[in-house]
Structure formats: structure tokens, C-alpha cells
Chains A and B, each alone.
Chain A
């Protein structure tokens, strides 16, 4: 039985959150529901949706570009996600060490994540330019050095190539299907600042007495990291992992700016890029809606797996 006072409080509470509730229902819940309906329709936006049953899902299942884009996204996630998490964690640990200028170092690491994605993509385009870019300018002296020449000669002495003699060359970052993804993965590390800050907050919460106890037991630096630090910040790692999985599945802005259309051999044609092209270039909004639901299912399954596994490796203090 709710008292009059409680009812009045509830009414006030609902009144206060009603702008958000209305906004959420109109601009999130309704579009989500409609997109589910559209995923069973042909819907080119300018004509009314036309129900086609499971046709969109059938088309997607037999679409080689869909599988290619899924493979590209998986490749990015499998490499960029763990490496990004490790780099962020190492940075956070280094920034957690008490030293002079600690605040400056923390600022330097965090600053890149404040640079808008479009601006940083433009900078990276120049850095990775195969002729004029600083990265290849730095690699040039190594790749065209005398020892590299000897290796070239040896390879050409041992093997014959159909396209002429073998030569080392600086990577064609965005023109060579092999190098596009490594370039994008390297670029993704530029924005680890946010993750670093979250790790840093977690690291500062690790109780000092655990380290003291470990030291008394004779633990060295690595033992302390693996047996104290990592278990203590495992909830933070867990949070970052879930966010990173979602982030990888949604990678769009930078590859779309750098290699619109996915680059050579669609080697960087991410899932979201294909989804966008289907929706807004080819005007297959129904198929794009179906792809969005498949994406949601993939994220849900991966997140569920992480949640299930978390019982084994995530340790909450006080439990």
C-alpha cells in the first residue's frame, strides 16, 4: 500500500523525469521498434515500407560483402582490442608511478582523446602518406639501408619472382590491402587516453595494504602486478572490455574518412560502413535495419560471453 506522501513523491519524480521519458520513447524506443519492423520490409525511405518477411535476412546470409565486412570487423576487434587494452593498462601503470611532472604526463596521454576524430584522421592521412608521410620517411633509412639491400640480394639469389626482382619498399599504408588494417589499428591506439584514465582511477583504488602483504610474502614487481594489481582492478578491466567490444563493432568514423568504400579489395570495409552505405547510399533501409539487428545480436552474445566468463576472473572487493 503506497501512502499519499509516497504517491505524491512518485508523481513529482515522474514529472521531473518525464522530459527524458518522452524523449527516450520518441527518439530511442520507437525508432528501435520501427527498425525491427523495417528489417522485415523493403524500405527505400521515400516509399512506404513493404513487408517482405525474412527476405532481408536471407539476402544478408548470401551476401559476400556482408561476410567480408564482418571478417574485417572481427580482424580489427581481435587485434586492436587486446593490444589497445594492454597499451592503456601499461600507460596507466606508468602514470600511476609517483614521479615529477606526473600531472603533465597524464595530460599528454589524455590529450589525443580530446582531438576530434575527423581532425586526427586528417593528420594520420598525412603521417601515413607513403611518399610524403613522416612514418615512411622514418622507415626509409631502415628499409633502404645496406643490410636490407644484402637481404634483398640474397632473396633474389635464392628465388625467382614472376613480377621481377624482389625489393623492400616502404608500406603503401592505404593503397595496399595488406597494410590498411595495420594502419587503422595503429591509429586506434591514439585514442587510448579515455581508457587510461579509467584504469588510473581503478589503480588508485587498489589498497596499499595488499601490496605490503605481498611484499612481506616476498612478491616481486611482476608477482605484485599479476596477483594484486590485476585482480584488484579486474572490475575496471571488465568494464573496459565490454565497452571496447561495443566500440570495435561500431568502428566507423575514422575508416570512413580514411578509406571510404573500404579501400583496396574492401580490406577495411567495416560492418558499420557497409550498413551506412546500404542505408544511405543504396537506400536499402530494410536491409540496413536487419544488419543493425544482427550487429546488436552479435554484441549481445559477445557481452553475454564476457559476463559469463567474468565469474572466473572478475573480483569485487568486499565479496
Chain B
């Protein structure tokens, strides 16, 4: 029995030792003479691969010269993971997060201020478009640089517009251009709606809840604000805000809440050939510049192409625009004279507090913010540029033939970034609930829902501030 026992033990122990000694090493390919910068990013699929291309280029050029190697990791729930890693004292050197988390993290001292590093690299307010620069700053400190930005525009199906030209003309609209006011948008949507005899929506001209990603910003197109930073009070009951959400509810009232709900639940995924804009079941919608990428990949026929590989971005822009079956234009405003209103979002580069190599991390961030690199990345992601200077090549040979629209929107004085409220995630949650209430319960008065939302959020904000003051007084910060 004893020899058998020894043989079995040896069979288990020897391979284990061999694996430990000669087995795979996670750091095997990392260059030994370089500082390793850990970069966590949220992107997956194409966007992840495109950023990897930028990272590889950095590692082969600037990184090689300055002895820096960026280790790029694509991860889900990046903000939660960064937060936990930061709390544990082992954060990444760079985290790619959303703009909505920036103020929340900055308020918690979870981010390194970047003022000195930015000044060293010559990155100033003149580098970025104002809306993006202002959003990266909080309480007088720079907390983030931008990886890619976006603005939001109205996308519309020009083929359906042309096919229904008579209907549009009958309601006093020009079928060759996008609606220019909210009133025109409403008339256009109504004219293009197709509803069967039982009230089921077959095609929707426009539906605020499709895709519904920006419904919490509806008030912007009505000239309203939900937050007054001077008084630190929520202003949901401002008549302009009330008018905005009453307008949003009007679509459920007109089409029927059940029909809207049924239609919405039957729509396909955004990133699929069943995307309602691509299949024409929604004629107009709010989207960012990346939509051009999805159209090209999922329905090249809307680009007038046989397949997604057929587009030649070097063709003259006018020729490319001619064959499109879709177009983008500024989303119309309800207030006369209020033009080019948009939501300016962005993906951020932040350095979490306690990062081991902030200077080397910033070297990479500054590299991505070079005009040539930023334009390459934004072209690949099909987004506008956050930088103040934009090359002619970027505008003329971009994947998105309408990139000029998004650039103009980003430069607009009416471009708005995420409000700088430390409890922003809770604001988003409450607003989405309020909007769902209005859409699903058409008998609820918008003012009542907004007042309720305001009360809940003001209470949460006041409590948050009360705790911060108590912490300050007790010296627990």
C-alpha cells in the first residue's frame, strides 16, 4: 500500500511544482525596463479594440522612448471596481469612467486633481471646447481628461420622409429637412405614425422613450434647468421644466400608454439589426454621432452601400451625403431663438487617488489628447472631438458624414454637460422613475410628479451636505 501512496502523492506534487516553476506567467510579456501603467476601461467589442490600437501605438512610440508601458484591461462595471480598488489602496493608474460619476467621485476625494500635471503638459481651458473643459473641472480643480466625447442630435430617416412627402406637406412641413421646432416635430411625428385599427403602433414618427437615453435632459430643449448651483436647490417645478415633461407625457396621452408600452417592449436591441431606427419602425430619434457606426455595420443599405466594407471615407463629402437614407440635425427646441441645444457627454480618463504612477499615467492621457491621436480615436469610434482645434481632414473624412453637425453642437453655447451634483446617480434614478410614472400613468399631473421628485432629491441632497458638514466638524474626512 505504501509504494502506491507514494506514487500517487508524487504524481500530484511533481506536476504542481512544475507548473509553479515553469507555468504561465501573467507578466511574461511585460517589458522589464518600463513603468507599467494599469489602465482600466469600460469599452468592449469594437470600441475596446480601437482603443487598444491607440494603446499599442503609444507603447511602441512615446511609451518606448519614455519607458512607460500601458497595460490595458477592458472590464465591466469599471466605476464600481475602481471605487473598491481605490478604497482598498490598489487602484489602477488610469480609469475610463463616465462623466456622470465624475463629481460623485471627486466629492469623495477618490480622484487625484490633475491641475499641475495638465499645466506641465500645456493642457489648458483653450485645449478643449468650453462645455467639455467646464465639465472636467469641479470646485476649481481639474479631475479628468476626455477619452471620447459626444453630442446629441435628431436622427431621421430621409427615405421615410420622402415616401411620405405628401403627408408632411399636408401638415405644412418640408419633407426635405428636419423639424426645426418642437411644434414641427410633433406634427411630423403625428403625420408619420402608423397605428392599426386596434391602436397598436406599427410605426412611430417619434417617441421620446425610444431609445429614451436622454429623456432626463428633456428640459434643456425647453430652456429649463433642474438645478440651481448658487442656491443648491433643485428647480423641478420651474414652469419650463414642467412644460418639458408635460410634452414628454403628451406622446403617451396621444398614442395611448398601453400602446406606447407595448411598442417599446417589442423593439429590438440597440446594437442589433432589429434596432427600431434601422428597421424603420421609428422614424426620428435622439442619438449621438456613434449612430453612423451602427448604421454602417448593421444596415449599410441606409448608407446607400451593399455592405459595411463598401464605404470610402475619402470620397468628397457631398457625394457621400447624397446616397444616405438618413440625416442628423440639431434636436428642435421649444423656445423661439434657442438653437443648437444639446447634451454633451463624454468618457473620462481619471487618475484614482493613491495611483502608483500618476505622472506616467498622465503621459498616456496627454498622448491621447494630442490632436492627431484624439482625431484618430474619435474617427474610429465615430464621435466628435472634444478639442478646440479640429482638422479639415477630421470633418471631411469622418465615418459620420454629419460630423460637422455634432461639432457645431459641441461648440454651441447651448451645449449642456451633466449637472455637477454630488448625488447625480440618485438624481438620474429618481428622474427616470418620475418619467416612467408620467409615461405609464397619464392621469398623473406632471407638476405633481416633478414636485415629488424635487422633494425627494432635495431631502437627499440636504442630508448629504449635512453629513459632509458633520464629518468636517468631527475631522473625519
A residues neighboring B (CB under 8 Å): 42, 44-48, 50, 52, 129-132, 163-164, 167, 169-170, 172-177, 261, 264-266, 277, 280-283
Contacts and interface: CB of A to CB of B under 8 A. Distances in A.
Interface string B413-435: 00000000001011001001100
B474 A169 contact: no
Contact of B265 (A44, A52, A173): A173
Interface string B399-425: 000000000000000000000000101
Contacts of A283: 83, 104, 108
Given A132-B268, A173-B265, A265-B437, A45 B258 contact: no
B474 A50 contact: yes
Contacts of A47: 108-109, 471, 476-477
A266 B108 contact: no
Contacts, number: 92
A261 B432 contact: yes
A177 to B, nearest CB: 7
Majority secondary structure of chain A interface residues (helix, strand, loop or mixed) = loop
Contacts of A163: 256-258, 442
Q: Which 8 A-B pairs have the closest CB atoms?
A: A131-B266, A175-B265, A46-B108, A130-B265, A46-B110, A172-B265, A45-B87, A130-B266
Interface size class of B (residues with CB under 8 A): 35 or more
A282 B423 contact: yes
B264 interface: yes
Interface string B165-199: 00000000000000000000000000000000011
Contacts of B77: 280
A300 to B, nearest CB: 28
A164 B476 CA distance: 60
B436 A264 contact: yes
A169 B258 CA distance: 9
Nearest to B257: A163
A172 B261 CA distance: 7
B74 interface: no
Nearest to B84: A45
B445 interface: no
A44 B266 CA distance: 39
Tell which of B84, B258, B265 has the most Cβ of chain A within 10 Å.
B265
A261 B83 CA distance: 21
B87 A167 contact: no
Interface string B198-214: 11100000000000000
A169 B108 contact: no
16 contacts: A44-B108, A45-B84, A46-B86, A46-B108, A48-B476, A129-B266, A131-B267, A132-B266, A163-B256, A169-B200, A169-B258, A172-B262, A173-B265, A175-B262, A177-B440, A264-B261
A261 B426 CA distance: 11
A91 B131 CA distance: 61
B277 to A, nearest CB: 16
Contacts of B274: 132
B470 interface: yes
Nearest to B354: A46
Contacts of B200: 169
Contacts of A131: 262, 265-267
A281 B474 contact: no
A282 B426 CA distance: 6
A266 B433 contact: yes
B353 interface: yes
B437 to A, nearest CB: 7
B80 interface: yes
B467 interface: yes
A258 to B, nearest CB: 12
A98 B311 CA distance: 64
B425 A282 contact: yes
B194 to A, nearest CB: 14
Nearest to B268: A132
A42 B66 CA distance: 43
A50 B266 contact: no
Nearest to B266: A131
B152 to A, nearest CB: 21
B470 A50 contact: yes
A44 B274 CA distance: 41
Contacts of A280: 77, 80, 83
B67 to A, nearest CB: 31
A45 B426 contact: no
Contacts of B105: 46
Nearest to A44: B108
A46 B105 CA distance: 9
A129 B264 CA distance: 10
A45 B108 CA distance: 8
B471 A130 contact: no
Given A164-B256, A167-B199, A266-B433, A45 B265 contact: no
Given A46-B83, A261-B429, A129 B265 contact: yes
A127 to B, nearest CB: 13
Nearest to B80: A280
Nearest to B108: A46
